């Protein structure tokens, strides 16, 4: 019995009588859990209209208590992420060893109160009743993430904050923010104002598959100021979410090159423009000391905004055509003792990674970077076949899995012709729910990488990737993300032996979709897109294969 919670808790027991809360409900919190108490009074106070005053521990109706013996999870999970919730004595007691666990306990409490607890103002006069339960809970994985691409289509700050709140409801704890790409630069860098003055705007956007040759002919753009991003980081931190920024280099960089053409070795009067197509651009950064100096300056401003332990540097999809045709790049490679310009890829990334390490941070890269001679003190996001994650683990890297076959949420949710702009593969709700973190064995190896105790790296968890080439606003992002993010949240939180897809569907239909409705999340209905969620006439490209399990 899970009392319709999503994600399902590690252990839950029905015990004691229901608990009735009312206008006189009071709250006590230990000092270590002040942030979780603030979340509780803010969210529950808004939904009920109650003031939720403070009271001594022995008289408060809801108590948030610090306890360092709370159940924790695997080695990659911090002990402060676990919590206990007990309503069996007629009061609500939440115990946790830190703010994160207390935060998750509060989120569970709100789910137990029903979908009204997810509204921003009181509706109706029905009593607020909690079931009598004891819950012991902690996440399965320490890294439970979502990448959101705000470079292809900019998501205004208010919409991004709303998206972060939806992640927090599902106990997801990392937002990987893809801030730069060929199609847009979204972070203010005060030392280099042309990055946003020029690089944050494109004249038009491809409409659907680029091979169709259709464009919307509408200028698109936007960016976050440094203070916007500080606010976003603080908002997320209050919800136990770490924001990991990504500045993609040396490929996927045409927006920066449009602002400063010399970054690609082009003349100062060149005008490559911000790219208006989707795909892999052959224009890449010039592998020079001047370019490295520019990006060190950029990273200094990034570091001042984001306290994340990881800073993303991309490193994916870097065509070598430009470097191989450039005598300066060939001379640079030869002078460094490299037989081929391809080695400049790792050299360039490691030079910027060293700058991060000198400032107490760790770089994060896409898995192509792990094929080179990188320093092992890096996090690898494995987006291609999961066995590449096994190879990165064996080489000593920490790994987060986000394989496109299972966890790309811009991919079509069914093979129905009603799916809007279908791209990639069919990635159903069950595809995401059934994703196996242990599937990192190379085909034919017979066992997953995790079975090899000699691995030097750690598998930290997984993340879904939401690329926005075809998601041009918050409504489309919600449609792509939910309810598949509900499935990912349970996959990464709940132990495999406590998960059951038919039961998850029941909880989703009987309760959780109502919570999303109350929050204003415009998810894809289980029966298929609603009329205004379709995009008839906009061409996509769909590979009809589904992932092998």
> Any catalytic annotation for residue 170?
no
> Any catalytic annotation for residue 410?
no
Quote the Cα angle for 133-170-31, to 5°. 65
The predicted model gives 4-21 an average pLDDT of 96
Q: Residue 414 has what DSSP assignment?
A: S
Say which residues have a Cβ less than 8 Å from residue 372's Cβ, sequence separation at least 6: 343, 345, 346, 349
pLDDT tens digit sequence for 83-105 = 999 999 999 999 999 999 999 99
The residue annotated as part of the active site, out of 80, 252, 355, 512, is 252
pLDDT tens digit sequence for 370-387 = 988 888 889 999 999 989
The residue annotated as part of the active site, out of 81, 86, 181, 248, is 181
> Any catalytic annotation for residue 176?
no
Q: Which is nearest to 268 in space by CA: 321, 373, 194?
A: 194
The predicted model gives 531-547 an average pLDDT of 82
Only one residue has tokens 């509060």, namely 106
Pairing of strands 92-96, 62-66: parallel
The predicted model scores a pTM of: 0.96
The residue annotated as part of the active site, out of 30, 216, 317, 418, is 317
- Helix pair angle (226-237, 289-305), 10° resolution: 50
Written as six digits, the tokens of 288 are: 């020079």
Phi, psi for 372 (deg, rounded to 5): -95, -165
Say which residues have a Cβ less than 8 Å from residue 255's Cβ, sequence separation at least 6: 151, 180, 181, 182, 183, 184, 185, 195, 199, 200, 202, 274, 275
* Residue 79, pLDDT score: 80
pLDDT tens digit sequence for 390-422 = 999 999 999 999 999 999 999 999 999 999 999
Say which residues have a Cβ less than 8 Å from residue 325's Cβ, sequence separation at least 6: none
d(C-alpha 86, C-alpha 133), whole Å: 6
The predicted model gives 459-480 an average pLDDT of 97
The predicted model gives 325-329 an average pLDDT of 96
The predicted model gives 476-490 an average pLDDT of 98
Is the predicted pLDDT of residue 447 greater than 50, yes or no?
Answer: no
Please provide the average confidence, as pLDDT, over all residues in the chain. Answer: 94
pLDDT tens digit sequence for 28-67 = 999 999 999 999 999 999 999 999 999 999 999 999 999 9
């Amino acid at each position: 019995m899970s009392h319709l919670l999503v994600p399902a808790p590690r252990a839950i027991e029905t015990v004691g009588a229901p608990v009735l809360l009312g206008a006189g409900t009071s709250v006590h919190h230990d000092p270590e859990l002040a942030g979780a108490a603030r979340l509780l009074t803010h969210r529950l106070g808004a939904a009920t209209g109650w003031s939720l005053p403070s009271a001594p521990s022995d008289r408060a109706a809801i108590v948030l208590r610090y306890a360092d013996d709370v159940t924790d999870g695997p080695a990659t999970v911090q002990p402060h992420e676990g919590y206990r919730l007990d309503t069996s004595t007629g009061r609500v007691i939440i115990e946790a060893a830190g703010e994160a666990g207390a935060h998750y306990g509060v989120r569970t409490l709100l789910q137990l109160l029903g979908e009204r607890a997810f509204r921003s103002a009181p509706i109706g006069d029905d009593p607020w009743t909690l079931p009598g339960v004891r819950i012991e809970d902690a996440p399965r994985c320490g890294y439970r993430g979502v990448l959101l691409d705000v470079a292809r289509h900019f998501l205004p700050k208010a919409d991004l904050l709303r998206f972060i709140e939806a992640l927090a409801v599902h106990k997801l704890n990392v937002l990987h923010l893809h801030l730069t790409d060929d199609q847009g630069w979204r972070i203010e860098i005060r030392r280099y104002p042309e990055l946003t003055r020029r690089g944050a705007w494109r004249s038009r956007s491809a409409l659907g598959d680029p091979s169709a040759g259709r464009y919307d002919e509408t200028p698109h753009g936007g960016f976050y100021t440094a203070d916007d991003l500080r606010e976003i980081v603080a908002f997320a931190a209050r919800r136990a979410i770490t924001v990991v920024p990504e500045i993609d280099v040396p490929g996927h960089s045409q927006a920066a090159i449009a602002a400063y053409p010399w970054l690609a070795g082009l003349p100062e009067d060149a005008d490559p423009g911000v790219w208006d197509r989707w795909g892999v651009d052959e224009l890449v950064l010039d592998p020079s000391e001047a370019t490295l100096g520019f990006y060190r300056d950029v990273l200094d401003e990034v570091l001042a905004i984001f306290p994340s332990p990881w800073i993303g540097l991309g490193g994916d999809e870097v065509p070598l055509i430009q470097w191989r045709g450039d005598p300066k790049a060939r001379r640079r490679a030869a002078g460094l003792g490299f037989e081929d310009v391809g080695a400049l890829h790792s050299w360039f990334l490691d030079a910027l990674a060293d700058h991060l390490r000198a400032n107490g941070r760790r770089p994060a890269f896409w898995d192509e970077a792990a094929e080179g001679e990188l320093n092992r003190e890096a996090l690898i996001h494995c987006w291609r076949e999961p066995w590449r994650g096994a190879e990165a683990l064996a080489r000593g890297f920490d790994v987060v899995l986000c394989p496109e076959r299972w966890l790309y949420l811009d991919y079509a949710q069914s093979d129905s012709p009603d799916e809007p702009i279908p791209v990639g593969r069919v990635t159903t709700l069950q595809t995401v729910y059934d994703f196996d973190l242990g599937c990192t064995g190379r085909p034919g190896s017979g066992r997953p990488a995790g079975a090899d105790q000699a691995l030097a790296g750690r598998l930290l968890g997984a993340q879904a990737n939401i690329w926005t080439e075809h998601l041009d606003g918050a409504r489309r992002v919600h449609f792509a993300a939910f309810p598949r993010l509900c499935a990912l949240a349970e996959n990464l939180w709940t132990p495999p032996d406590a998960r059951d897809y038919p039961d998850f569907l029941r909880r989703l239909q009987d309760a959780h979709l109502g919570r999303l409705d109350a929050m204003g999340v415009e998810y894809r209905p289980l029966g298929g897109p609603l009329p205004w969620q379709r995009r008839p006439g906009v061409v996509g490209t769909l590979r009809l294969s589904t992932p092998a399990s």
